[in-house]
């Protein structure tokens, strides 16, 4: 059937030519057929042409600085390395049914003429000792050596034995603006030297993909198409400067669905320099667990605005505790820079080293105070979640018995006294345990859960349900109450603010 149709079409053309007529859409030119018509727009809009020329110039300049990385793994399954949720790291692009050596691919960015290349930690973390191969833009291949990794930022540095390599220009990620044009350059899905365009759609994203209490996430979000194999490649601005290292995507099918995430280049600069010089990162830490301050929390602590980050807990013997910081302090600025999200503080500190000093502007008891903190190395000691409040308990307090649950109906929560055995097992001297949380209530909306223990309310110790009831009875509709909890899930201390409904 196909042959018949083709024959009919060819025959029609032959007949038309013999008769001297021309079918619509065809024109004679020196006895030959001319296909197509005139250019619809003879002269491009200068602004459009300039933008296109800019894309072309940036792609030509940066693409030679981005390499493909092939990794032979030790057999660890990809399923163990990628979280089962909507956020995915996207390279290497492989998985296999049995734990056996296999190969994956990612991307990297050349940092120095003598062969230092940055990529993602998750691209090379399972590589065999001689299992990292770098393929240049001109197809020349090198075996690479792993210089160092930093799992907390998902960055790694490798090196090849080469000279006079093209080197990427590094920009300033602090200047990145939402809405600006960017290009993503890498090697997705086995397609070498691929360039996609988009805009910066958000900054300062924390998507919880790195994990661990020391994971540092402050991603630049972009809608430039990014897929498996782009991991470790460059996110570039219109000046041809690398502003980020592509690291993850938001997806439900492990492929591009609209949003990718890049590690800011300013963080890269510090990490890469440490890895090249020392083979590891000597990062300083403040030693705090912090959370965002929203309007309800701001009202509860007397700040009356949604700004800063709240110190939920401090590491014993850490920098913050040594400097005199306390639970419930709000950090408003660090070295004169506003801080309004935990990852903003984490990222700034991550660019500093042990022994560096930072100045914090804190809010405490209605006053603003500057505190100088000298950063110390990370310690894995327990956070000071169980330290006593500093107020003594009388004998009647220590003998409080379990009680019938008290329901605080206005906020949708029920509590009861802790037994002596519960206090001992939880290593607490005081507190009441949450026994129920009403669906869609203020307590549920503020993420209070069953088995959480309330140890303070409005900075006063809670030794019994009566203590908590008195504090709530003194509040009017619209007021906010500050609670300090010991979380049932991780045994860490956290502050929660509840607003009494009007």
Supply the residues annotated as catalytic. Answer: 122, 154, 231
What would the DSSP string read from start to end of 212-245? STT----EEEE-S---TT-TT-EEE-TTSEEEEE
CB 465 within 8 A of CB 416: yes
| Residue 18: φ, ψ to 5° | -65, -35
Q: Give the pair of three-digit tokens for residue 220.
A: 């630049």
| Residue 29: φ, ψ to 5° | -145, 100
- As a whole number of angstroms, the distance between CA 51 and CA 354 comes to 44
- As a whole number of angstroms, the distance between CA 371 and CA 320 comes to 9
C-alpha dist (Å) from residue 312 to 74, 273, 302 = 40, 32, 16
CB 104 within 8 A of CB 231: no
- As a whole number of angstroms, the distance between CA 340 and CA 337 comes to 10
What would the DSSP string read from start to end of 86-126? SEEE--S----SSS---EEEEEEEE-STTSEEEEEHHHHTT
CB 156 within 8 A of CB 149: yes
Q: Give the pair of three-digit tokens for residue 426.
A: 């939880």
- As a whole number of angstroms, the distance between CA 473 and CA 131 comes to 66
What would the DSSP string read from start to end of 127-175? EEEEEEEEE-TTS-EEE-EEEEEETTTTEEEEE-S-SS----EE--GGG
Looking at the chain, how many residues does it have? 502
Question: Residue 291 forms beta bridges with which residues?
Answer: 310
- As a whole number of angstroms, the distance between CA 360 and CA 65 comes to 39
């Amino acid at each position: 059937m196909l042959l018949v149709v083709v024959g009919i079409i060819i025959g029609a053309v032959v007949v038309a030519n013999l008769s001297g007529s021309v079918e619509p859409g065809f024109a004679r030119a020196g006895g030959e057929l001319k296909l197509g018509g005139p250019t619809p727009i003879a002269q491009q809009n200068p602004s459009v042409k300039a933008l296109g020329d800019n894309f072309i110039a940036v792609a030509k300049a940066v693409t030679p600085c981005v390499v493909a990385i092939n990794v032979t793994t030790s057999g660890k399954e990809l399923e163990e390395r990628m979280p089962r949720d909507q956020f995915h790291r996207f390279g290497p692009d492989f998985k296999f049914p049995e734990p056996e050596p296999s190969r994956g691919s990612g991307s990297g960015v050349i940092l120095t003429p003598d062969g230092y290349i940055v990529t993602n930690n998750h691209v090379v973390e399972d590589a065999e000792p001689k299992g990292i191969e770098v393929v240049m833009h001109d197809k020349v291949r090198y075996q690479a050596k792993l210089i160092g990794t930093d799992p907390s930022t998902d960055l790694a540095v490798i090196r090849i034995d080469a000279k006079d390599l093209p080197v990427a220009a590094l920009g300033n990620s602090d200047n990145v603006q939402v809405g600006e044009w960017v290009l993503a350059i890498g090697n997705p899905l086995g397609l070498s030297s691929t360039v996609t365009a988009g805009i910066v759609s958000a900054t300062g994203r924390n998507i919880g993909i790195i994990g661990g209490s020391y994971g540092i996430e402050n991603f630049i979000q972009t809608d430039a198409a990014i897929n498996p194999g782009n991991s470790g490649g460059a996110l570039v601005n219109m000046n041809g400067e690398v502003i980020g290292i592509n690291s993850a995507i938001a997806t439900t099918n492990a492929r591009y669905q609209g949003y990718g995430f890049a590690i800011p280049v300013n963080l890269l600069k510090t990490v890469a320099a440490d890895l090249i010089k020392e083979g590891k990162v000597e990062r300083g830490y403040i030693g705090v667990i912090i959370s965002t301050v929203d309007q309800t929390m701001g009202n509860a602590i007397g700040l009356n605005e949604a700004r800063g980050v709240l110190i939920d807990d401090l590491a014993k013997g850490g920098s913050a505790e040594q400097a005199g910081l306390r639970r419930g302090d709000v950090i408003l600025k660090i070295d004169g820079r506003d801080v309004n999200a935990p990852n903003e503080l984490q990222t700034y500190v991550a660019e500093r080293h042990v022994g560096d000093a930072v100045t914090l502007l804190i809010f405490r008891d209605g006053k603003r105070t500057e505190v100088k903190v000298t950063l110390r190395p990370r310690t894995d000691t327990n956070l000071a979640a169980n330290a006593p409040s500093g107020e003594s308990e009388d004998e009647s307090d220590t003998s409080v018995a379990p009680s019938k649950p008290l329901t605080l109906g206005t906020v949708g929560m029920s509590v009861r006294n802790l037994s002596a055995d519960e206090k001992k097992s939880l290593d607490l001297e005081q507190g009441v345990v949450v026994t129920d949380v009403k669906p869609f209530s203020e307590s549920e909306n503020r993420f209070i859960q069953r088995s959480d223990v309330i140890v303070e309310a409005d900075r006063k110790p809670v030794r019994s349900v009566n203590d908590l009831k008195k504090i709530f009875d003194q509040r009017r509709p619209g007021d906010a109450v500050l609670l300090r909890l010991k979380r049932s899930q991780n045994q860490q201390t956290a502050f929660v603010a509840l607003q009494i409904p009007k």
